[in-house]
Structure 1
Amino acid sequence: MSGVVPTAPEQPASEMEKQIKSQDPRPDAPPGYNSHFVPGPPRPAVFPSAGCQGGLPMGYYSPQQPSTFPLYQPSGGIQTIQYQPGKYPLPNQCAPITWMPAPTPRPDCPPGLEYLAQLDNIHVLQHFEPLEMITGFETNNRYDVKNNSDQMVYIVNEDMEDFTRNAYRTLRPFVLRVTDCMGREIMTIQRPFRCTCCCFCCPSARQELEVQCPPGVTIGYVAEHWNLCRAVYSIQNEKKESVMRVLGPCSTYGCGSDSVFEIQSLDGVFNIGNIIRKWNGLLSAMADADHFDIHFPLDLDVKMKAMIFGACFLIDFMYFERSPEQNSGSQRDTANQQ
């Protein structure tokens, strides 16, 4: 019959299943799909908003997180860091942070000290820790280092375990790690433990501080010298040869006024700069929230600038770091006897 369309002979169901399985040996293989995605034109990346209301910065670089990087936003060929490296805070919990533009590396300057080569004044701001004042548990100190334009230059974090920090309090040995905008440790400041049980004029009881830049390479020391009524330090090079001296005030250490530590030549004729501990009123009297201004000549050797910067922290721990278990009067007496 011409109107009938020939059809294939019917096959048993078992034979048809065998043919289907022979085409795809995978059990329960999913059907193949054709991708219909067509990529569009490239667009600039959208970064989170840097502006937020209220509060101080909550996230800070931690040495235990070296693989984290900050978020940045290009602006006129200069990369402005909006958040500190490390743990990023949640939105609306921090204030925007602006970093000092990274200077060009110099062959005659240790890596990371190019910032100091361009400055003649820096501000060292210690973080206020309300939990430390309430509970009496000593925590690691943290500092922000800024220039006159309120741009962040460095972040300083103390790295010391809890037992030693709370057992020795203000006399504790410490390691301070100075990091730049990329979270790289560019400087290490170390203070060894010195016993103060013996006579305070004994050389073994005098405090000392070592500055390394880059970490592992010593560039100098800050050594305490005994004096009956005032703080005296010498700033030394890597060979422990005295280069400059630091002379503190006679009897008052931050009681209602600024404390000025003068940086002078060894003979005391030339005044090179100074380290000023600013009086912050109630915070200075009751809490560890010190503010230091450091002044030095713009053309001073960058290594000596780093040494003056390191001397600021030894001064802070010896005279202005208050233990929660001590009142301010006994704290000053302990500092003066070191």
Structure 2
Amino acid sequence: MSGVVPTAPEKPAEEGENRVEAPDPRPDNPPNYMSHCVQAVPPPASCPGGLPMRFYSPQQPSTFPLYQPTSGIDPIQYQPGKHPMPNQSAPITWMPGPTLMPNCPPGLECLAQLDNIHVLQHFEPLEKVTGFETNNRYDIKNDLDQMVYIVTEDTDDFTRNSYRTLRPFVLRVTDCGGREIMTMQRPFRCTCCCFCCPSARQELEVQCPPGVTIGFVAEHWNLCRAVYSIQNEKKENVLGVRGPCSTYGCGSDSVFEVISLDGVSNIGSIVRKWNGLLSAMGDADHFEIHFPLDLDVKMKAVIFGACFLIDFMYFERSHHNVHQDRSRQ
């Protein structure tokens, strides 16, 4: 018995397995929020400017140096109305936008401060070469060569090339901010009827803002000259337009007088300027519109619309039909 070493009494297996340890009073370690991030690798000594391209990863912070303009060259910046667009050769300067005026449709504030404007049609080489009629475009400027409006025709290809100069059209007038401030609509009128038939007379509706009619331009039958009426939204005659006996003045301007209803007072004029060979061969007309400064701005807008109806009726050219004198003789 003296050589036996006493051992601790063995515990039953069931007691060891069912033993529950006491919870650790110390708080758990905070989670590692940076485990998903890839730490930046310092650039090797052989690449002082940054990592080589084959080691670049979108997850790693870029070490490529940012572009810095060279000294003496300023970064290119464009400001609307002051710098040319990429497809333009000269800068465009817009007329400063005036403040809102009472009793003036929105967008016509510039027109209310002018007594004359210039309508410049864009020259379309595609029409001259192929004969395919394209949408007309116009620049509206003041005497200081500042842009006031831009007028763009909105007509489908089939209508333009089928009806040519007699086509119905929609002209959209936009300001410097690209907002459509005026719409001009010309309905289709059949000219196969007798000239004295009212259904054959041309008409133009002027809306400002789009959807709100402010006036009409109505054609009247006359034996030897072009005659129009400037009407208000109720189709009541306010002014008249009287053209020359021969609307196509070769070598001289074509003047359409804006007169009072009694025909005595000369209120203003719509003048198609003669520009030499460009007027004779190209389809790029230049109109100059004059009206009193204190004239109702709505009537100014309707006179402005009469210029486009006159352009389509008498000065618009076609590949299949060279300009004819439509003076209703």
Shared fold, TM over 0.5? yes
Post-superposition CA distance 1:233-254 (Å, at most 9, x none)? 0000000000000000012423
* Cα pair 1:124 1:293 within 8 Å, conserved: yes
Distance 1:176 1:127 in 2: 14
TM-score by structure 2 length? 0.77
Aligned pair partner of 1:48 in 66, 73, 76: 76
TM-score by structure 1 length? 0.75
Please give the secondary structure, in 2, of the residue aligned with 1:134.
Answer: helix
Q: Which letter maps to 2:150? A: I
Q: Which letter maps to 1:82? A: K
Q: Is 1:31 aligned to 2:54, yes or no?
A: no
* Cα pair 2:226 2:244 within 8 Å, conserved: yes
Distance 1:148 1:47 in 2: 33
Gaps of at least 5 residues in structure 2 are 1-29, 41-59, 64-73
Q: RMSD across aligned C-alpha pairs, in angstroms?
A: 2.5
Structure 2 partner of 1:184: 179
Post-superposition CA distance 1:59-88 (Å, at most 9, x none)? xxxxxxxxxxxx33xxxxxxxx1258xxx4
Distance 1:147 1:197 in 2: 39
Q: Tell me the percent identity.
A: 75
Q: How many residues align?
A: 271
Structure 2 partner of 1:11: none
Aligned pair partner of 1:247 in 236, 242, 245: 242
Structure 2 partner of 1:82: 82
Distance 2:154 2:133 in 1: 13
Distance 2:303 2:211 in 1: 19
Question: Cα offset for 1:49?
Answer: 6.1
Question: Cα offset for 1:283?
Answer: 1.0
* Cα pair 2:122 2:138 within 8 Å, conserved: yes
Distance 1:94 1:283 in 2: 20
Distance 2:321 2:62 in 1: 72
Q: Is 1:164 aligned to 2:159, yes or no?
A: yes
Greater Rg, structure 1 or structure 2?
2
Distance 2:168 2:188 in 1: 5
Mean Cα deviation higher: 205-214 or 248-257: 248-257
Aligned pair partner of 1:316 in 294, 311, 318: 311
Structure 1 partner of 2:169: 174
Aligned pair partner of 1:121 in 94, 97, 116: 116
Structure 2 partner of 1:220: 215
Distance 1:213 1:123 in 2: 20
Matched ranges for 1:1-338 at <5 A: 29-32=36-39, 48=76, 71-72=79-80, 81-83=81-83, 88-89=85-86, 93-328=88-323, 331-332=324-325, 335-337=326-328
Gaps of at least 5 residues in structure 1 are 1-21, 38-45, 51-70, 73-80
Return closer, same or farther for 1:32/1:116 CA change in 2, 3 Å cut-off.
same
* Cα pair 1:254 1:277 within 8 Å, conserved: no
Please give the secondary structure, in 2, of the residue aligned with 1:102.
Answer: coil
